Chains A and B, each alone.
Chain A
Amino acid sequence: MPKSNSPSKLAESIDDGAMDVSTPVETAATNSSYQCASLKKYRKVVTVDKPTPYSFDLGNLLAIDPNPVPADADETAITAIARDAAQVLINQLLTTCDIKSTSDGVTLNLPAPSTPIPREKPVPEAKPPTTWEKFAAKKGIKDKKRGEGKMVYDEATGEWVPKWGYKGKNKDGDDQWLVEVDEKKEMETGIAHNARADGRRERKEKVRRNERKQRANERKAGKGGR
């Protein structure tokens, strides 16, 4: 190809097929790194001898050949170097990686890539905790397990009863035929207290308190725009 050719002409000649490459049928035959007498013998050679050993990054399927490449290397020499690299890489992959054969085929488990490569975007920052998350952490409130329903098992009757509401488990103390008297409380208040009514009063108070808190929260949030 004469050097005076302009790039566009060059491209045309590429399209015409003037510069098509006839791929050598047997690249191994030109392999100069083996000085074997018979072709058949070195076709079976699976090891590569180089003065400096290769290094690998199997996570990236990468082989690094630190041996010098001659400055006047032609295509066959480069092909030979590439073949050696491919051979060594496949040897390394097949000998050091776990091989798993399934019905889909044989897979190799690769180690994590070892060459440092920059990320595309920075490491994501942890989201700041919400007001609720901060409060829950302070109070030690944990998420209820998923799938935990409204019903609980009542061991006394052997039935599943609701935790709250009609015939709820939280009303257990209300209809006991026998209740212990809290003497301490009686001494403090000076009146005979009713343990059965206490439970109900406590529940009602809890509901009212929750509603109060809810209104306060809404008032607070309302400033931000709700």
Chain B
Amino acid sequence: MLRTIKPKTARTKRILEKREPQVHENVKQCLFLKGTSSSEILKLAVTDLNSLLKPHTKKFTKPNPIHPFESVDSLNFLSLKNDCSHLVLSHHKKKRPHTLTFIRTFAHTVLDMLELHIDPETFRTISQFKNKKCAVGLKPMLAFSGTPFEGPVESRFTLAKSMLLDFFRGVEATGVDVEGLQYMIHFSASDEIPGEPAPIIRMRVYLVKTRRSGQKVPRVEVEEMGPRIDFTVGREQVAEEAVMKTALKKPKGLEPRTKKNITTDVVGDKMGKIHLGKQDFANLQTRKMKGLKRSREERKAGEETDAEEDGGVEVKRVQLEA
């Protein structure tokens, strides 16, 4: 493990403070790694994935003797050292060709892993699509199509959905510029049929173009931008339940406090409930009449009693200046 450093300068102190657990977390950084052997296809795929995830990435190009399903120590170390909680390990072997292992970490220890094998025949890079590309660092729109992602039971596909969403969703934003909705990452998988090999996950990236339709919402057209990757699902390692539970915990005080007696109905109208209190009928102003007025003698008698009440004076002994 990394030794714990005591900051010597204010700068290192600030850097270390940024790495500590935060209530509002930074965007998860993704680290691309190479296993013992890699392939050209993997190299191209990693380049393209890196360009989609920029600027929240780091890319290492030297081979590492890492076998994630045997030992996770070096992955934990690299996650801690680089402060990255997403790792993508690319390795190519005869038994598992063109493999990308997607790894998530929690508190710099491996949480879950999923192997996805790239189909080299159908793989296309971004540069192979000769069209305009979207700007760097935009928050993508995401879409998942197909029944396998929807399974009520946890499967490799629901894990893939959770992982791919986590990897590609980009910055957590409270608002988005309409101009920024430029591209969509689409994942689709056909039905799982028992007895047949598991369906492939097709990743397609499209530019989204809107046209006037004459109605309130525009007509949307898509144009493939690349990369086009077909993944076969390989081995997986799911998170331990207890660890996942702590990882899913939300810090207190993030949700806005609900205001009492204010509700929003289905249509979106704000409704308020007001308490008026009890009306005092004794002070109610009724119609004025001469006969109900107090007479002059009555009023005079009332004033005299008032004066008597605060007429007394308390006497105190005092000491004069010496």
Contacts and interface: CB of A to CB of B under 8 A. Distances in A.
Interface of A: 1, 3, 7-8, 10-12, 14, 17, 19-23, 26-28, 43-46, 59-71, 73, 78-79, 81-83, 85-87, 89-91, 93-95, 99-100, 104-110, 112-113, 115-125, 176-181, 183, 195
Contact of A10 (B92, B106, B120): B120
Contacts of A45: 213, 219
Interface in B192-227: 193, 199, 202, 204, 206, 208, 210-211, 213-224, 226
Given A14-B124, A68-B147, 10 more contacts: A10-B40, A11-B40, A14-B128, A73-B188, A82-B143, A86-B208, A118-B248, A121-B22, A178-B320, A195-B319
Most chain A CB inside 10 Å of its own CB: which residue of B20, B92, B131, B223: B223
B129 A82 contact: no
Contact of B319 (A19, A65, A180): A180
Nearest to B140: A61
A90 B92 contact: no
Given A46-B215, A62-B169, A79-B224, A179 B142 contact: no
Interface string B165-187: 11001001111111101001010
Interface of B: 20-23, 25-26, 28, 39-41, 43-44, 85, 92, 97-98, 104-108, 111, 120-121, 124-125, 128-131, 139-147, 149-150, 162, 165-166, 169, 172-179, 181, 184, 186, 188-191, 193, 199, 202, 204, 206, 208, 210-211, 213-224, 226, 228, 239, 244, 246-251, 255, 316-321
A132 B317 CA distance: 45
Given A83-B221, A85-B186, A60 B142 contact: yes
A120 B25 contact: yes
Most chain A CB inside 10 Å of its own CB: which residue of B26, B41, B97: B41
Contacts of A59: 172
B186 A69 contact: no
B147 A14 contact: no
A89 B186 CA distance: 12
Contacts of A17: 128
Nearest to B211: A43
Given A23-B129, A78-B202, A109-B175, A117 B219 contact: no
16 contacts: A14-B125, A21-B129, A28-B221, A62-B143, A64-B144, A66-B150, A69-B188, A71-B190, A71-B199, A79-B204, A79-B206, A93-B181, A109-B175, A123-B251, A180-B317, A195-B319
A19 B191 contact: no
Contact of B165 (A12, A104, A115, A195): A115
B222 A86 contact: yes
Contacts of A14: 44, 124-125, 128
